[in-house]
Structure 1
Amino acid sequence: MKIGKIETFYVPPRWLFVRVESDDGAVGWGEASLEGWAEAVDGAFAALRDRFIGHDPFRIEDIWQIGYRGGFYRGGPVLMSALAGFEQALWDLKGRALNLPAWEMLGGRVRDKVRAYAWIGGDRPHEIGAAARARSEQGFSAVKMNATAELGWIGTPRIFDDVIARVEAAQAAGMDVGLDFHGRVHRPLAKQLAKALEPLGLLFIEEPLLSENPEGLAQIANLTSTPIALGERLYSRWDFKPFFEAGAVDIIQPDLSHAGGILECRKIAAMAEAYDVAVAPHCPLGPLALAACLQVAACAPNVAIQEMSLGIHYNVGADLFTYCKQKEQLTPQDGYLPIPAGPGLGVDIDEDIVREAHKDPHSWRNPIWRQADGSFAEW
């Protein structure tokens, strides 16, 4: 068996799917979505086709090593997202050819299901209580929301009053809450906000600072008992290494479509386990990305909770199940996602719908925000 074809598909709302086919007709699907940069990731597939058409698709580790190291320049969101989607598709192809789930080939299950959380609100959320109750009615017991809209460099604690009120509204609806700072908060305010939120008993605060500020993150971790979560903008085990060593993180959030794929994220989870750090994979993306996350959740003992994008505010024009033949494969039950039992990634994609969507490719971009003085603000 040899790799015969590697295809990519732009599908709404902002995803990039990957389809790999062998010369004898075996097929696998993956997701290389990098929000706002689909064209760049798609461009990286030219090199992957040059290197891997004709390669044995079962030699996944060998392919990953060549894909990562073989081009001399390595790492970063674009190259690692392309490699991630390709690698996911190879696990899907191999699993379907052997009639085994990917998790079975990675050591077998340590759990039958994983707790899931959903998003409520948007970048400027309102009516949080009602949104939290709606998620509760869907069976969720945990939600995540953005902490703030744009913030300046300095301010006084009273600007946090609405943040605290929204968290309390969600908690009043019976929800455990994770709060995403989204890298919007600079160090002078992040320290104050982390302390102000501490009495609320949050699941975590996510990206209280951008990950390029590890020294500031370590300081904030020492200021608050609230768990610090980060990792969506880290792309390999080498990127995570200094955060483990500095004790700057309690929960890591590698993205299976940004951080090299299933096996790389399994290795990152193993590193985290050695530092007694939990794993909560980042996944505001599509069904293949979520299915890949569930393969890691199946076999990594320190996966604690899984993000999913069902009904997220980014999903305009398509939602989590749009391209799935059977939505029950990724449907939460009483706040938990079952580990997929099917071969490969365990999700069946409707190829006809994908190909039709690709005829009008999306060009999704995140918004650009500005402060009151006209200067750039982090989104």
Structure 2
Amino acid sequence: MKTILERLKLPVRAGQSPSPTPSSGDRRTFLRNSALGGLSLGMMFDGQPERELEYTTQNVNRASKPSDLKITDMRIAILQGVPFTSPIIRIDTNQGLVGWGEVRDGASANYALMLKSRLLGQNPCNVEQIFKQIKQFGNHGRAAGGVCGVEMALWDLAGKAYNVPAYQLLGGKYRDEVRLYADTPEGKTYEEFAENMKKRKAQGFTFLKMDFGIGMLAGQPGMLVGADVWDVKNQYGNSKQMKVGNYGMTKHPFTRVQVTKKGIDKLVDHVGRVREIVGYDTPMSADHFGHFDVNTAIQIGKAMEPFRLAWLEDLVPWFYTDQWKQISDAIDTPTLTGEDIYLKEEFIKLIDAGAVDMIHPDLASSGGLLETKKIGDYAEEKGIPMAMHFAGSPICMMANVHCAAATENFVALEHHGVDVEGWEDIVTGLKPIAQNGFVKVPDRPGLGVELNEEAAKRFLKKGGTWFAPTDVWNTKDSWDREWS
């Protein structure tokens, strides 16, 4: 049987010097203390070194033991005005680690809650495995919000469990700072718009985006053909239901709205004056043109060529691959789409067809951090750059920042909350978040930030609850296998 001292003898690691031998004066004390401690252990666990080790390390913090980490709960609080509506996900574990995620802006929290029964008891460090189990419950647009939000929270937990930032788990980073691009409110006059542009430049943004389209021509004589039967001024969910249908919910080719020469000249004058304000040293992209067909898209695209816009975004819906190729082949300004595409397969179709010049995933719809990196990596191999769409809270922004840092062909990330007072206070761990048009990539574990509950509660949706119990979602009630 090994002696007590032999059992307690610690191994020497490679490259490490052995512990110094006690001096003769200290030896009696050392042996007496060691023997007494060892004697008590020997009497308790004689011949059971595993139990001895467990006993001697009983006060060691085991909260970062990744192999034993399990999901125990998931709850949600819905924030409003950040800048839109964003459900925040909190995933709890058996070791006290908390993971934060976010359902995409404007999406239902139920898209995430329905996944809870598939997550309980799982090890969150198995991110890709869990993603493959739940990705069937996502779809294009906001329907992907639950799957993507959960995936964000899993990476946050995995990073915290292994004590590394999320980008490190994605393969490391290409950059220390992530470039932002900012929307700019136009204002009622060009003078007001000029002040808004000056404000953006003073904030340090080096990349801007503007909106212009046929909505600004509506109601003016001689500008549009076939627009009087539609609510053309409103292209979103606020469109009025007209006799011919809802403009905001009618796909572009089916409105049959056209722009006249006079209307195109008006758009040219508008963009030209904006370009004069911004100057040509700053990249400027454009979005939200309205619902019209591929022919009108080409006409507008050609008219914009003198202004060297960084891209024209979402001229027609993303799924019309052939029409996108028609537009891209016909104009010299880069084309871009993708903020509503779920998973890499549809991006691959657009890229392989040569249909767009750039891709534009929204990480909260495209599949989360790893899937978006896969999308970017595929595009990079084909020589296609990637900008990233984003309009949520700092939780989702940091998920985007880690993905952007880890993806080589990344260009710029949208920041839609620039003017939201208190936006940066929603989280702790990185302050300021945006500085001179960039975000420093955090080196803290996981996403690198924690929810600041006191500040975030100011954005709680009216009538909403703050991470209330969600036990009603605990039980799985369907067979999920997609094959037989």
TM more than 0.5: yes
Aligned equivalents of 2:423, 2:289: Cα separation in 1: 22
The alignment's C-alpha RMSD in Å is 2.3
Structure-1 residue corresponding to 2:181: 117
Whether 2:116 is the aligned partner of 1:49: answer yes
Give 1:12 shift.
Answer: 1.3
Structure-1 residue corresponding to 2:203: 138
- Structure possessing the higher relative contact order (Cα contacts under 8 Å, 6 or more residues apart): 1
Structure-1 residue corresponding to 2:212: 147
Select which of 263, 266, 272 maps to 2:379. Answer: 272
Could you report, residue by residue, the CA deviation over 1:187-219 in whole angstroms, capped at 9, with x for unpaired residues? 232111000001110111111111132211110
CA contact (8 A) 1:10 1:361 kept: no
Please, which moves more after superposition, 183-192 or 303-312? 183-192
Structure-1 residue corresponding to 2:424: 321
Aligned equivalents of 1:110, 1:94: Cα separation in 2: 21
Structure-2 residue corresponding to 1:346: 448
Whether 2:353 is the aligned partner of 1:246: answer yes
Structure-1 residue corresponding to 2:232: none
Aligned equivalents of 1:179, 1:90: Cα separation in 2: 34
Select which of 323, 330, 338 maps to 2:433. Answer: 330
CA contact (8 A) 1:124 1:148 kept: no
Structure-1 residue corresponding to 2:127: 60
CA contact (8 A) 1:9 1:16 kept: yes
Relative to structure 1, is the Cα distance of residues 136 and 147 closer, same or farther in structure 2, using a 3 angstrom cutoff?
same
Structure-2 residue corresponding to 1:94: 158
- Counterpart residue identity of residue 356, structure 2: V
Structure-2 residue corresponding to 1:158: 262
CA contact (8 A) 2:214 2:259 kept: no
Give 1:349 shift.
Answer: 1.7
Alignment of 1:186-225 (within 5 A): 186-225=293-332
Aligned equivalents of 2:143, 2:127: Cα separation in 1: 17
Whether 2:144 is the aligned partner of 1:80: answer yes
Give 1:327 shift.
Answer: 5.8
Could you report, residue by residue, the CA deviation over 1:309-356 in whole angstroms, capped at 9, with x for unpaired residues? 2335xx5xx6532412356252123x3222222221122321244356
Give 1:222 shift.
Answer: 0.4
Alignment of 1:295-306 (within 5 A): 295-306=402-413
> Share of identical aligned residues, percent?
28
Structure-1 residue corresponding to 2:74: 6
Structure-1 residue corresponding to 2:417: 310
Aligned equivalents of 2:157, 2:446: Cα separation in 1: 6
Aligned equivalents of 2:132, 2:143: Cα separation in 1: 13
Give 1:18 shift.
Answer: 0.8
Relative to structure 1, is the Cα distance of residues 195 and 124 closer, same or farther in structure 2, using a 3 angstrom cutoff?
farther
CA contact (8 A) 1:91 1:344 kept: yes
Relative to structure 1, is the Cα distance of residues 75 and 162 closer, same or farther in structure 2, using a 3 angstrom cutoff?
same
SS in 1 for 2:388: coil
Give 1:123 shift.
Answer: 9.9
Relative to structure 1, is the Cα distance of residues 309 and 359 closer, same or farther in structure 2, using a 3 angstrom cutoff?
closer
Give 1:116 shift.
Answer: 1.5
Aligned equivalents of 1:96, 1:194: Cα separation in 2: 47
Could you report, residue by residue, the CA deviation over 1:75-112 in whole angstroms, capped at 9, with x for unpaired residues? 33344210100110111122122221100111111111
SS in 1 for 2:269: helix
CA contact (8 A) 1:254 1:281 kept: yes
CA contact (8 A) 1:101 1:346 kept: yes
Which runs of 5 or more residues in structure 1 are unaligned?
363-379
CA contact (8 A) 1:124 1:149 kept: no
CA contact (8 A) 2:186 2:193 kept: no
- Counterpart residue identity of residue 226, structure 1: T
Relative to structure 1, is the Cα distance of residues 164 and 133 closer, same or farther in structure 2, using a 3 angstrom cutoff?
farther
Relative to structure 1, is the Cα distance of residues 183 and 252 closer, same or farther in structure 2, using a 3 angstrom cutoff?
farther
Aligned equivalents of 1:209, 1:105: Cα separation in 2: 36
Relative to structure 1, is the Cα distance of residues 97 and 108 closer, same or farther in structure 2, using a 3 angstrom cutoff?
same
- Counterpart residue identity of residue 286, structure 1: S
SS in 2 for 1:280: strand
Which runs of 5 or more residues in structure 2 are unaligned?
1-68, 219-226, 228-256, 465-484
Structure-1 residue corresponding to 2:105: 34
Q: Which is greater in Rg?
A: 2
CA contact (8 A) 1:311 1:319 kept: no
CA contact (8 A) 2:294 2:316 kept: yes
Structure-2 residue corresponding to 1:366: none
